[in-house]
Structure 1
Amino acid sequence: MTATTLTSHSAASNGATRRSRAKAIFAITLGNGLEFFDFTVYSFFASIIGSLYFPVQGSLNQLMLAVGSFGVGFVVRPLGGIVIGAFADRAGRKAAMTLTLWLMALGSALIAFSPTYKQIGLAAPALILLARLVQGFAVGGEVGASTSLLLEYADDRSRGFYGSWQFVSQGLNTVCGALIGVTLSSLLSPGALESWGWRVPFVIGMLVVPVGVYIRRHLDETLVHPEPVEGAAAVADVARPVREIVSRHRKALVAGIVTTIGGTAANYIVLFYMSTYAIKILGLPMSVGMSAALVAALVTALCSPFAGMLSDRLGRKWVMGLSRVALIAVIYPAFMVIHASPNVTTVLAVVAVLGAIVAFTAVPNIVMLPELFPQRIRVTGMSIVYCVGVSIFGGFAQFFATWLIKLLDNPLAPAWYLIGCGAVSLLALPLIREPAGRPLD
């Protein structure tokens, strides 16, 4: 089929057949998952990258620099969200997502083929940081565009389910990254893995371009009257939605950022940091750490559609609130259990439970964000809110957790980080009008 332009989100909702909607979910989920794979697979090989590119004294210091460079990719996310978000609100969701594909592949290529510190000195970590900045800029624009497109395909009673596939894609990319990590760590010797094996996932990640461009050629555009954006008009278009968001949607802006804190902290600690924690803090083999990430991501991905459907029935706020209270209650005992009994069975059981809770706390959050803004500024608004919250409290969650362990000399310290973020995020829920079931503007 060839792509056609839909005149409004209601046309997408009412005119699209169930089959075309299923194709849209598949295309957006796969393309988005490929991009997030490129961005997040770095986390699984942080310990190796730390030793090759950040040769400071002490493995914990190397780890802090490695996960810090992971967080650097989040620094430019808000900028990417603003620039690419404004582009998506003018030229269309598809055009913006295609742009992010190329940027993400460029970042993966830089990491895959970058020489190590021993080969080129300080230029090596500089290349890694540059790659993470490019990838962060791309993801900043991708999340808002793809999530908005998913919601604009849905009817008013099923936006939670449709939007949940954004989080499914993030979970599946983590599953793929962890599977590759488990396979490589099982088949290769430690020397081979450190020499060249860790580069394989980043080479695979470059497939985001041919696969992503192909599937997105078959998507329908949901933006009303997309227009070309060139030259000085592009600069003006960046400023226009930002001015409107700041002047007319300040409450949604602040409330959205604060609610995102709890969901993103839980997501990045449970899905990404727990693998590093198992290896570096608990002293378990790398295969166990990768397996922990695999189980957590798989459970999260499987639970996400149910979390979305439940938020369609009960409301986003109720599902978010109850799940975050549950996470606050169980997170410290969870860390106590795996520290007291650091074996593969205990670790996998704990991350499975936490992964399920993460789905119910994060899915309604990411679905709610584009619902807070009208279509003309939806991608920009959602991107700013999501990227600011994720950049600070998600991207640097691993760094904060490692730093707290070192500062407090307490291996259970990451639990306090999640408790604090979860408690703060609950404060913003009363500021938000329940969006579930209401028509999109």
Structure 2
Amino acid sequence: MIRLTWKQKIGAVTGNALEFYDIAVFASISGFISVLFTHQGIEHAEYVVWGIFALRFLVRPLGGLVIGHYAKNHGVRAALILTNFMIGLATLSMAFMPVEALGQYIVVVFLLLQIVQAFSFGGEYPTLISYLHQGTDKVDKSKTSSLIVASSIVGVVVSLVVVYALKEILTVEEMNDYGWRLPLLVGVLNTLMSLYFRLSLPSLPSIKTVKMPMKRSTLTLRIFMVTIIGAVIFYTQNFASKMIGAELTIENLPLINSLLLLFTLALTGWLTDKYSSATQAFRLASIALVFCSIPLFLMLSSGNPIYMALSIIFFTLISGFLLGNLAAVLWQESEGDIISLGFGYNIALSLFGGATPLIVGLLIPEGFTFVGLYVALAAVPALVILSRPNTRINTKIRYAR
């Protein structure tokens, strides 16, 4: 069995970071897209933009299913190259979109291109999890898992930095005129770099299960329930935090959260592999969220700078242990079945990923207690599932040559 070197793992997740930039940059330039829609006669343009953001998640389960089948039949490396090409093509099309010629149909075109990206990324993330954990020793499971989610956060951070830099260089009029295209062009370059990294990766043998100890529907359900809290935490930390920061007048809260989480992931991955296991660390982090989410969000909204800082630090630390071990837990729960992994993971992302910024936005006026309650309740399904171990210990897996 081929074992990936850390250089190869970093190459694989670098591709993911560059592609996640393409996914995240739409949110980063959403304000300029709203202005663009308004100039084309679209009413309530801001809501239309975030509607596109939410609707694109609906196609992710289909992407996970289709690309999961492709990965099973042609190998995970081939699937990663396919998703790279699809995301890059959609980003290129958005960058050179003929705005005036499309008129109000620009909304439809943006939606279709976002759907293409979401479809391909629906297969990207589960395939990356399978590729890296298939070629990883047990002693490095948590560090590898942390590396995967860290690469996604890097994509978010880079998108924020690129747009911020352009806003400092260009005037508002220039950003509304042509500047919004520039982050997308950066995304095209990212795609080419990602393709280079992925073409240099070794092909791993396809996994063939000799005996499925559980029905695929049961595996999918388990993965779905474990992923719920991961989706809620990731999108609360990296997207909904923009609304939280605006409400509490904390400037650049999304960037603060993302950078702090990156540091935490490096720490939690090392600690978990040295002293615990991915499943145990994930379970303990979920329990901590059930009991601590409401107090931490109350501290965040207290107005006391010390309490607010402590809230951000402790919430990020718990999130690091949970997100950093999510991929390893999902791989373990999938029993090597990439189709169950892709479908279950993306259903959870569709329901709780795209919806979380909207839900948090609706709950904030009611009080941060309810935001904490939402996070706490999201951790319960994973605890239920992990309290009922599957039969993976009896799973027999062989690798096709």
TM range (shorter): 0.7 to 0.9
Asked if the contact 1:103–1:134 (Cα under 8 Å) also holds between the matched residues in 2, the reply is yes
Task: From the superposition, tell whether residues 342 and 391 of structure 1 become closer, same or farther in structure 2 (CA, over 3 Å).
Answer: farther
Q: Is contact 2:18-2:191 (8 Å) kept? A: no
Find the aligned partners of 1:204 and 1:347 in 2 and give their Cα distance. Answer: 35
Correspondent of 2:15 among 12, 16, 31: 31
* Structure 2: runs of 5+ lacking an equivalent: none
Deviation at 1:151, TM superposition (A): 0.7
C-alpha contact (below 8 Å) 2:240/2:361 kept by paired residues = no
Q: Retained in 2: the 8 A contact 1:245–1:381?
A: no
Structure 1 residues 12-63: Cα deviation after superposition (integer angstroms, max 9, x where no partner): 13xx6xxxx0221111111011111101122223333334326776xxx654
- 1:49 match: 33
Offset of 1:75 from its aligned partner? 1.0
**AA of the residue aligned to 2:376:** I
Does the 8 Å contact 2:76/2:206 carry over to 1? no
Distance 1:355 1:194, change over 3 A: farther
Please give the alpha-carbon distance, in whole angstroms, between the structure 2 residues aligned to 1:215 and 1:303: 26
User: What is the TM-score with the length of structure 2 in the denominator?
Assistant: 0.86
Cα distance change on mapping 1:418 and 1:67 into 2, 3 Å: farther
The residue that corresponds to 2:380 in the other structure is 423
Identity percentage over the alignment? 22
What TM-score do you get using the length of structure 1 for normalisation?
0.79
Q: Relative to 1, partners in 2 of residues 1:163 and 1:295: Cα closer, same or farther, differing over 3 Å?
A: same
Alpha-carbon spacing, 1:292–1:193, altered in 2? closer, same or farther (3 Å): farther
Query: How many angstroms does 1:95 deviate by?
Result: 0.8
Q: Which residue identity is paired with 2:222? A: A
Q: 2:190 aligns with which of 195, 198, 208?
A: 208
Query: How far does the alpha carbon of each residue in 1:354-378 deviate from its partner, in whole angstroms, 9 at most, with x for none?
Result: 3332221122222121223344xx3
1:293-349 CA distance string (max 9 Å, x none): 222222222222443344444233321222223334444444445545499x98777
What's 1:397 paired with? 356
The CA distance in 2 between the partners of 1:365 and 1:302, in whole Å, is 17
Q: Secondary structure at the match of 2:334?
A: coil
CA drift of 1:182 comes to: 2.7
Confirm or deny: 8 A CA contact 1:84 1:96 kept in the other structure. Answer: yes
Amino acid in structure 1 at the alignment position of 2:279? K
> Once the 2 structures are TM-superposed, how far is the Cα of residue 272 of structure 1 from its aligned partner?
1.6
| CA 1:282–1:203: 2 relative to 1, 3 Å | farther
Where 1:154 maps in the other structure, the secondary structure is coil
1:156 pairs with 121, 138, 156, which one? Answer: 138
SS at match of 1:221: coil
SS at match of 1:114: coil
Kindly tell me: are residues 245 and 205 of structure 1, through their superposed partners in 2, closer, same or farther at Cα, counting changes over 3 Å? Answer: farther
Corresponding residue for 2:55? 72
The answer to whether 1:296 aligns with 2:257 is yes
- State the match for 2:289 in structure 1: 327
Q: Which residue of 2 aligns with 1:183?
A: 165
Paired position in structure 1 for 2:82: 99
Q: 1:413-439 deviations in whole A, cap 9, x for unaligned?
A: 543332221234322221234979x99
Conserved? CA contact 2:90–2:117, under 8 Å: yes
1:200 corresponds to which letter in structure 2?
A: L
Q: Where in structure 1 are there 5+ consecutive unaligned residues?
A: 1-10, 227-240
CA distances 1:261-287 after superposition (whole Å, capped 9, x unpaired): 0111011011122124434x4566xxx
2:232 matched residue in structure 1: 265
Q: 2:326 aligns with which of 336, 359, 365?
A: 365
Which deviates the most, 259-268 or 292-301? 292-301
- One-letter amino acid matched to 1:432: P
Contact persistence 2:87–2:117 (CA under 8 A): yes
SS in 2 for 1:171: helix
**Matches of 1:135 and 1:347 in 2, distance apart?**
36
8 Å CA contact 2:19–2:191 kept in 1: the answer is no
Q: Distance in 1 between matches of 2:103 and 2:193?
A: 35
1:191 CA displacement = 3.3
